[in-house]
Structure 1
């Protein structure tokens, strides 16, 4: 039981423990998982600019640079002049294996022991927006699925009722036929007629 509670405060990818900064996202419907800010952004690289952390809405920006190694899309004006210009373009998370979008610093004077700088704050907001969109879509899909199941259950109930009514009708017809024929057993729709009466007994003497 304790282990299950611990999992609620662990990132579903890297396993980092964080009670407050984990995001709920849809993962292979109908399951969900909790991700830290860094793992959520790395798992949804094509949904935001890795420099300004603006979450994209349709349509995508025209003036953009696409990473050659992942789905990441960057605003060209957001790319710093001192950023290494690879040809083809490589996003920050692909340029360094140890890159992290979210880097809170430790500070003993802070009540939580951590300070979030401007870039990390932007990353946190972007991750929260992406998680909100993901859960909104999940709620919409769950509603559609629930309505579908209600319709299927209603249709199945109707078919079952029709089957019972049909069975009752056939039973009544069979009873009516049997009563009209004077009884008998039914074998595959064939009714056995009642046995003939015994021959009359002859009484008296036979003349020679």
Structure 2
């Protein structure tokens, strides 16, 4: 029996989840390479770019007095979102201790949908926010990747132009040297012929 393999875009390169199970496989630029992540893996690999409670994607990191950072990873949450999930120490002036959902529970998944939702391809409000956050992060990463690729292409084009110019200058210099050598050799031949004629005349 022949089995047709799924295209790379249909499988998460991190957990091997298929598009049928996760609804969407995101194409994302990650560690200078194009990767395919399910929604859960994409968010777990981009802590710090979104609030893990309300799933707002950050354009800029919230100011220090408006954020709480996870004690174990780079995840950053809005202070107002994280306070109900944080703990305080005996010192009331101390910063609350916050663990993001994935650090608090290693089995936590950002995106869970039922079999019925997979069939109908519908999601609840929370899952929609999660999907939207992952899609925004993927879009931004691909835009940055495209910009980096354009910059690299332009840099290489400039380097190629400089190399061509140097090669042309080198060829022109070589041609000039060869012309001078030919001119000097021609003068030597003329001098030898003149000496020969003078010797014949004297005899």
- By the TM > 0.5 criterion, same fold? yes
Mapped to 2, the partners of 1:162 and 1:70 lie a distance apart of 55
8 A contact 1:106–1:114 mirrored in 2: no
Deviations 1:38-80 (A, max 9, x none): 0000001101111110001224243211100001111121237
Name which of 26, 31, 35 aligns with 2:29. 26
Are 1:105 and 1:115, in contact at CA under 8 Å, matched by a contact in 2? no
Say which of 155, 160, 163 aligns to 2:162.
155
Q: Which residue of 2 aligns with 1:70?
A: 73
Q: Structure 1: which 4+ aligned runs deviate by more than 4 Å?
A: none
Deviation digits for residues 70-112 of structure 1 (CA, Å, limit 9, x no counterpart):
011111212374x4637621111111111000011121xx682
Which secondary structure state, in structure 1, belongs to the residue aligned with residue 10 of structure 2? coil
Higher normalized contact order (CA 8 Å, seq sep 6+, divided by chain length): 2
TM-score of the two chains, using structure 2 as the length reference: 0.81
Indicate if the aligned counterparts of 1:103 and 1:116 stay in contact, CA closer than 8 A: no
Residue 112 of structure 1 aligns to a residue whose secondary structure is helix
Instruction: Report the alpha carbon displacement of residue 28 of structure 1 after superposing the two structures with TM.
Output: 2.6
What residue ranges of structure 2 are gaps of 5+ in the alignment? Answer: 89-95
The answer (yes or no) to whether the contact 1:10–1:16 under 8 Å persists in 2 is yes
- 2:132 alignment partner, SS class: helix
Deviations 1:2-40 (CA, angstroms, capped at 9, x unpaired): 54x4333110111111165011111232x2011000000
- Please, which of 38, 47, 65 is the counterpart of residue 40 of structure 2? 38
CA RMSD of aligned residues (A): 2.6
Q: Is the 8 A contact 1:9 1:22 kept in 2?
A: yes
Residues 1-208 of structure 1 mapped to structure 2, 5 A cutoff:
2-3=4-5, 5-18=6-19, 21-29=24-32, 31-61=33-63, 62-79=65-82, 81=84, 83=85, 85=87, 88-107=97-116, 112-182=119-189
Number of aligned residues:
184
Between stretches 59-68 and 44-53, larger displacement belongs to 59-68
**What is the SS of the residue equivalent to 1:131?**
helix
User: Which whole-Å deviations, capped at 9, do the CAs of 1:94-144 have from their partners, x for residues lacking one?
Assistant: 11111000011121xx68255422111101000000011101111111111
Which one has a bigger Cα radius of gyration?
A: 1
Q: Is the 8 A contact 2:57 2:133 kept in 1?
A: yes
Q: Output one character per residue of 1:146-165: Cα deviation in whole Å (capped at 9) or x when no partner.
A: 11011011111111111111
Normalized per residue, the structure richer in helix is 2
Runs of 5+ unmatched residues, structure 1:
185-192, 201-208
Q: Which one is further off, 86-95 or 156-165?
A: 86-95
